[in-house]
A and B are shown apart, each in its own frame.
Chain A
């Protein structure tokens, strides 16, 4: 299938570029300094611009999707998080989406029961896979912070230990590496396995999955197979953090591949669906209180329209209204 192969080829080519570039063309400065800087600028600026771009558009109406009882009569218990009434309740609703993927947890699938009656059973695999994927990703990113500080921060140490508690290999084996690969495998197979998913998936859906998988695989190879020397890497990262444009030292080529793919991901991020990471905080169906009858929501561009007034109506129907003994304003 073209739409799966194309992104796969693209990732492979992207991985090859720095390999050739550094190994044969000696472009370590380009791949070690210029591209990472560019990438980080594009990521930060792009992300910010996209956010600002969204934020400057008004939210004309208060349209939360209510997934639970509204606050109405006092003796009826309302659902704080599915039909929030106060700001902090709406905030909790959004955060539960961000950290727990609450709406995905609701996922159902129709199922046939023994008595040939149809029921909609819960279907939690996507939720689980998605959660595993994102949380591992987050922990991996946080773990990497040890490369960016001279003194390794305490929480990074903690993560390191917690993540590596299965101390079976040398260097320590991280659970998250395995989890993230398993989760990506699941997410890709999920797209291939089901007719519906095959149909809705685009190249741009496979691409980030393959790209992230490639980053992880290269990272693992670096760590366990080629036993990359960490110190020059850390030196280089520290230099980058300190806005230094010095030449990188001697580092294994594989590292450049890793760094380049991360750079590609960073550049790709603001222009793609990966911006869902920002969008989820702004979604008007989730982050607004369901209290539009209690407090007036103001629409900044409230369109002015002309409607048919009562007096026009009475002018049209005065005789008929009189006949029906309806009170009228003008005789």
Chain B
């Protein structure tokens, strides 16, 4: 713990030097005069040299954000401005978003990081201005003639430090974009700046290590094929212990109808594995002809948080594997950024997927025409369709020990537009479901504060601050309706919301949607179930209790 505790002498010094409340001089003139300060808990460790070498990325070295000298490569200014130029040519979005902001401030208080930190540079408009000010300097317009008129500034090392700090305090959640009258999406700007920063070796190990793992082993966690299979098999054993039913997933099997891909967190981490158990139970329940790949074993895509090329590279495995295995279509598990990639990028980047068929549910016969080109269906769409056609035997009472609320994950909400399917499922698998306040759900949902590869341990304080608006909304349903379960359809959420809840709202646990499905499914030949998938007792099903079965 000592590592993270600030030194007393530093604190004293800071207290003396900084403007303070007591001195009453907290207000600064211009945002660019506010100094950038890296301190423990507000930055992520940089990419390790060996990781960068493995990926062929620029400027591998040992460094830390708190260093005075960041050892930027020679000519880095040119690298950045050339990089910016070429991206401006390739992306109309970037150019438009840099040109058209009127600084109306509608987005200013919409960002969870601003709401949680009060740091003015976390206002989306200022975050974008961090780049815009440099852009205006580099690409002179008439405005620039009048110096100081439009707030332009030179690209200096201090600016790079500022970029590193604040473009790693944006989770690419797009909430600001919902409120902007011109649809300016700061997430898009963040993605571009992170690409630029990677060109000069300013980066984040928490993002790059998974990227390198995924490239090598097929998944972020670097699980090799045999371990991957072992993991799922031990979940299969757990399922049998709990329900008496033996589910039989297959791996890398050619000729299956469906390839199932989910984030590797579901195979490895707690509580993701319980969601995985839910999927396995569901597929067994309906007799789906599916297979899981150890090669395309990652639904998530941290490449997205690095560069668009890297996103494409990691994503390419999905179609490649589907083609090799000869499946008809792909089914995707619960994940946020994975679905942003699949929904908005995959077919453009790695399509067309002519070797696949338009997805048709083998159980209900529903043709998923909304996925006619990409040929990948979201598990919530798939399950909602099953429930709608009454193909599942469900006992929602088995989730009576859970009083739920639903967290819309940013990417699924604002990058895909899926709101009703998960709610339809949730209402059918449990009896108590309360929505959080209106302006904190659906397209206005608050990010968990750890998205886009910011969920590093060393970044914990930042994450707690950024997640505060979300936690605060949960607290309201907790106080009002005794909610104790936060249900979500995102792997990053399943990893990052538990600490968030533990800190702000102890007593609220985090669940994947299909974990609740798994709890509620009445399996053929099952034994009497008294515990949920986490081996917690279910209310009203205690041994010897009077339930109607």
User: A–B direct touch, CB within 8 Å, in complex?
Assistant: yes
Chain A, Cβ-Cβ closest to B323: A310
| Docked pose: A78 CA to B417 CA in angstroms | 9
| Docked pose: A65 CA to B103 CA in angstroms | 20
- Find out whether the CB atom of A320 lies under 8 angstroms from the CB atom of B126: no
**With an 8 A cutoff between CB atoms, is B344 at the interface?**
yes
| 1/0 contact string of B166-186 vs chain A (CB within 8 Å) | 000000001001111111110
- Find out whether the CB atom of A118 lies under 8 angstroms from the CB atom of B180: no
- SS class, residues of chain B in contact with chain A: helix
**With an 8 A cutoff between CB atoms, is A285 at the interface?**
yes
- Find out whether the CB atom of B314 lies under 8 angstroms from the CB atom of A200: no
Question: CB-CB < 8 A to B417: which residues of A?
Answer: 66-70, 78-79, 82-83, 290
- Find out whether the CB atom of A62 lies under 8 angstroms from the CB atom of B348: yes
Question: CB-CB < 8 A to B109: which residues of A?
Answer: 109-110, 196
**With an 8 A cutoff between CB atoms, is A107 at the interface?**
yes
Question: CB-CB < 8 A to A143: which residues of B?
Answer: none
- Find out whether the CB atom of A308 lies under 8 angstroms from the CB atom of B177: no
Question: CB-CB < 8 A to A71: which residues of B?
Answer: 370
- Find out whether the CB atom of B224 lies under 8 angstroms from the CB atom of A286: no
Contact among A58, A106, A302 with B349 in the assembled complex (CB-CB below 8 Å): A302
**With an 8 A cutoff between CB atoms, is B439 at the interface?**
yes
| Docked pose: A69 CA to B424 CA in angstroms | 13
Contact flag A308-B215 (CB < 8 Å), given A63-B185, A67-B414: yes
- Find out whether the CB atom of A323 lies under 8 angstroms from the CB atom of B226: yes
For residues 400 through 458 of chain B, which have their beta carbon under 8 Å from a beta carbon of chain A? 413-421, 424, 437-440, 443-444
- Find out whether the CB atom of A200 lies under 8 angstroms from the CB atom of B413: no
Contact among A6, A200, A309, A327 with B320 in the assembled complex (CB-CB below 8 Å): A309
Contact flag A103-B179 (CB < 8 Å), given A282-B92, A321-B294, A326-B294: yes
| Docked pose: A82 CA to B144 CA in angstroms | 37
- Find out whether the CB atom of B30 lies under 8 angstroms from the CB atom of A310: no
**With an 8 A cutoff between CB atoms, is B204 at the interface?**
no
Question: CB-CB < 8 A to A104: which residues of B?
Answer: 104, 106, 179, 181
Contact among A67, A108, A299, A326 with B225 in the assembled complex (CB-CB below 8 Å): A326
| Docked pose: A168 CA to B123 CA in angstroms | 46
Q: Nearest Cβ distance between residue B544 and chain A, in whole angstroms?
A: 42
Chain B, Cβ-Cβ closest to A293: B374
Q: Nearest Cβ distance between residue A310 and chain B, in whole angstroms?
A: 5
Q: Nearest Cβ distance between residue B392 and chain A, in whole angstroms?
A: 15
Question: CB-CB < 8 A to B81: which residues of A?
Answer: none
- Find out whether the CB atom of A61 lies under 8 angstroms from the CB atom of B344: yes
Q: Which of A25-33, A228-236, A254-262, A271-279 contacts B (4 or more CB under 8 A)?
A: A271-279
Contact flag A280-B181 (CB < 8 Å), given A59-B93, A118-B476, A326-B225: yes
Chain B, Cβ-Cβ closest to A301: B90
- Find out whether the CB atom of A298 lies under 8 angstroms from the CB atom of B348: yes
- Find out whether the CB atom of A62 lies under 8 angstroms from the CB atom of B106: no
Contact flag A69-B418 (CB < 8 Å), given A200-B31, A280-B182, A283-B182: yes
| 1/0 contact string of B145-173 vs chain A (CB within 8 Å) | 01011110000000000000000000000
Q: Nearest Cβ distance between residue B368 and chain A, in whole angstroms?
A: 8
Q: Which of A155-163, A174-182, A201-209, A214-222 contacts B (4 or more CB under 8 A)?
A: A201-209
Question: CB-CB < 8 A to B150: which residues of A?
Answer: 202-204
Question: CB-CB < 8 A to B324: which residues of A?
Answer: 310
Question: CB-CB < 8 A to A103: which residues of B?
Answer: 106, 178-181, 183
Q: Nearest Cβ distance between residue B283 and chain A, in whole angstroms?
A: 19
Best-buried of A101, A282, A302, A310 by chain B (most CB within 10 Å) = A310
- Find out whether the CB atom of A292 lies under 8 angstroms from the CB atom of B320: no
Q: Nearest Cβ distance between residue B174 and chain A, in whole angstroms?
A: 6
**With an 8 A cutoff between CB atoms, is B540 at the interface?**
no
**With an 8 A cutoff between CB atoms, is B312 at the interface?**
yes
**With an 8 A cutoff between CB atoms, is B369 at the interface?**
yes
Q: Nearest Cβ distance between residue A136 and chain B, in whole angstroms?
A: 17
Contact flag A59-B92 (CB < 8 Å), given A66-B417, A293-B373: yes
| 1/0 contact string of A50-78 vs chain B (CB within 8 Å) | 10011101111111011111111101111
| Docked pose: A118 CA to B368 CA in angstroms | 40
- Find out whether the CB atom of B215 lies under 8 angstroms from the CB atom of A284: no
| Docked pose: A126 CA to B104 CA in angstroms | 8
| Docked pose: A307 CA to B394 CA in angstroms | 42
Q: Nearest Cβ distance between residue A12 and chain B, in whole angstroms?
A: 15
Q: Nearest Cβ distance between residue B548 and chain A, in whole angstroms?
A: 30
| Docked pose: A117 CA to B342 CA in angstroms | 38
Question: CB-CB < 8 A to B183: which residues of A?
Answer: 65, 97, 103, 283-286
**With an 8 A cutoff between CB atoms, is A225 at the interface?**
no
- Find out whether the CB atom of B100 lies under 8 angstroms from the CB atom of A327: no
- Find out whether the CB atom of B295 lies under 8 angstroms from the CB atom of A272: no
Chain A, Cβ-Cβ closest to B437: A119
**With an 8 A cutoff between CB atoms, is B388 at the interface?**
yes
Contact flag A70-B370 (CB < 8 Å), given A82-B443, A197-B105: yes
- Find out whether the CB atom of A294 lies under 8 angstroms from the CB atom of B369: yes
| Docked pose: A204 CA to B31 CA in angstroms | 16
| 1/0 contact string of A289-331 vs chain B (CB within 8 Å) | 0111111111101110111111001101100110111110000
Interface residue count on the A side (C-beta < 8 Å): 99
What number of A-B contacts does a CB cutoff of 8 Å give? 308
| Docked pose: A69 CA to B443 CA in angstroms | 9
**With an 8 A cutoff between CB atoms, is A199 at the interface?**
yes
Contact flag A327-B252 (CB < 8 Å), given A66-B415, A301-B90, A307-B314: yes
Contact flag A292-B106 (CB < 8 Å), given A63-B188, A279-B96, A310-B320: no
| Docked pose: A97 CA to B181 CA in angstroms | 7
Q: Nearest Cβ distance between residue B127 and chain A, in whole angstroms?
A: 11
Question: CB-CB < 8 A to B224: which residues of A?
Answer: 317, 320
- Find out whether the CB atom of B437 lies under 8 angstroms from the CB atom of A120: yes
Chain B, Cβ-Cβ closest to A327: B252
- Find out whether the CB atom of A307 lies under 8 angstroms from the CB atom of B177: no
Question: CB-CB < 8 A to A292: which residues of B?
Answer: 343-344, 347-348, 373-374
Contact flag A299-B349 (CB < 8 Å), given A65-B178, A73-B384: yes
**With an 8 A cutoff between CB atoms, is B84 at the interface?**
no
- Find out whether the CB atom of B90 lies under 8 angstroms from the CB atom of A60: yes
**With an 8 A cutoff between CB atoms, is A18 at the interface?**
no
**With an 8 A cutoff between CB atoms, is A195 at the interface?**
yes
Question: CB-CB < 8 A to A36: which residues of B?
Answer: none
Q: Nearest Cβ distance between residue A187 and chain B, in whole angstroms?
A: 9
- Find out whether the CB atom of B381 lies under 8 angstroms from the CB atom of A73: yes
Question: CB-CB < 8 A to A70: which residues of B?
Answer: 370, 416-418
- Find out whether the CB atom of A69 lies under 8 angstroms from the CB atom of B320: no
- Find out whether the CB atom of B416 lies under 8 angstroms from the CB atom of A66: yes
- Find out whether the CB atom of A76 lies under 8 angstroms from the CB atom of B420: yes
Contact flag A271-B348 (CB < 8 Å), given A279-B96, A303-B308: no
| Docked pose: A271 CA to B419 CA in angstroms | 41
Question: CB-CB < 8 A to A272: which residues of B?
Answer: 141-143
- Find out whether the CB atom of B440 lies under 8 angstroms from the CB atom of A308: no
Q: Nearest Cβ distance between residue B476 and chain A, in whole angstroms?
A: 6
Chain A, Cβ-Cβ closest to B28: A199
| Docked pose: A314 CA to B321 CA in angstroms | 12
23 contacts between A and B (CB under 8 A): A63-B93, A63-B344, A63-B415, A70-B417, A72-B381, A72-B421, A101-B181, A104-B106, A117-B476, A200-B31, A200-B108, A272-B142, A284-B96, A294-B372, A295-B373, A301-B90, A302-B348, A305-B309, A308-B317, A310-B317, A326-B229, A326-B252, A327-B251
Other than the given A104-B181, A294-B371, 8 more pairs (CB < 8 A) read A62-B348, A70-B418, A103-B180, A106-B178, A207-B149, A283-B184, A293-B373, A323-B226
A-B pairs with the 8 shortest C-beta distances? A66-B417, A120-B439, A70-B417, A279-B100, A285-B183, A324-B226, A307-B316, A57-B92
